[in-house]
């Protein structure tokens, strides 16, 4: 069950991290269509975009039954792969949450340092997901007997 949640969060955070501006823009457009005026990059647009993305990932999970890569728990690299994906998810969550609280940070230097750290997290996230997905895919391959 934890592996399924880990993969679900990874597939939510991947588009959220790679295209967070676009996801927020889609949420803002939906709010504008409903007659609610918002500003570009505002928190309501980000929340609605994230909820739409969450719904899309859930629908894929529901109709497909699982999210790739599935991996085999007894395969080589399965546990390491999930740990790498989990680390990527934690870093992506910190980047995601920072976007909501960035406007409330009044000190310029604090905001600058946190912005640089979370931007760096975005790059580390990509590496964690790439390595984790690679090991999960490797665990599903036939294993050699020693």
- Ranges of residues in the chain with a pLDDT under 70 are 1, 145-146
Q: What is the rounded CA–CA span in Å between residue 83 and residue 6?
A: 9
Q: Where are the domains of the chain?
A: 2-139
- Closest alpha carbon to 89 in 62, 104, 59, 67: 67
The Cβ of residue 2 has, within 10 Å, a number of other Cβ atoms equal to 8
Per-position b or e across 17-28, b if 16+ CB within 10 A of its CB? beebeebbbbbb
pTM confidence score? 0.87
Q: What is the rounded CA–CA span in Å between residue 142 and residue 34?
A: 52
Q: What is the rounded CA–CA span in Å between residue 114 and residue 95?
A: 10
Task: List pLDDT tens digits, range 49-91.
Answer: 999 999 999 999 999 988 888 888 888 899 999 999 999 999 9
The token duo for 146 is: 């020693």
For the chain, what percentages of helix, strand and coil (3-state, to nearest 5) are there?
75, 0, 25
């Amino acid at each position: 069950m934890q592996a399924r949640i880990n993969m679900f969060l990874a597939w939510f955070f991947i588009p959220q991290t790679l295209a967070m501006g676009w996801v927020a823009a889609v949420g803002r457009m939906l709010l504008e269509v409903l007659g609610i005026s918002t500003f570009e990059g505002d928190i309501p647009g980000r929340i609605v975009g994230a909820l739409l993305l969450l719904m899309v990932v859930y629908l894929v999970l529901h109709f497909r039954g699982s999210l790739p890569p599935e991996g085999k728990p007894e395969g080589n690299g399965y546990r390491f792969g999930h740990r790498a994906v989990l680390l990527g998810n934690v870093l992506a969550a910190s980047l995601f949450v920072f976007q909501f609280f960035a406007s409330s940070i009044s000190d310029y230097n604090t905001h600058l340092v946190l912005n640089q750290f979370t931007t760096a997290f975005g790059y580390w996230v990509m590496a964690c997901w790439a390595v984790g997905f690679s090991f999960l895919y490797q665990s599903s391959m036939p294993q050699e007997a020693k």
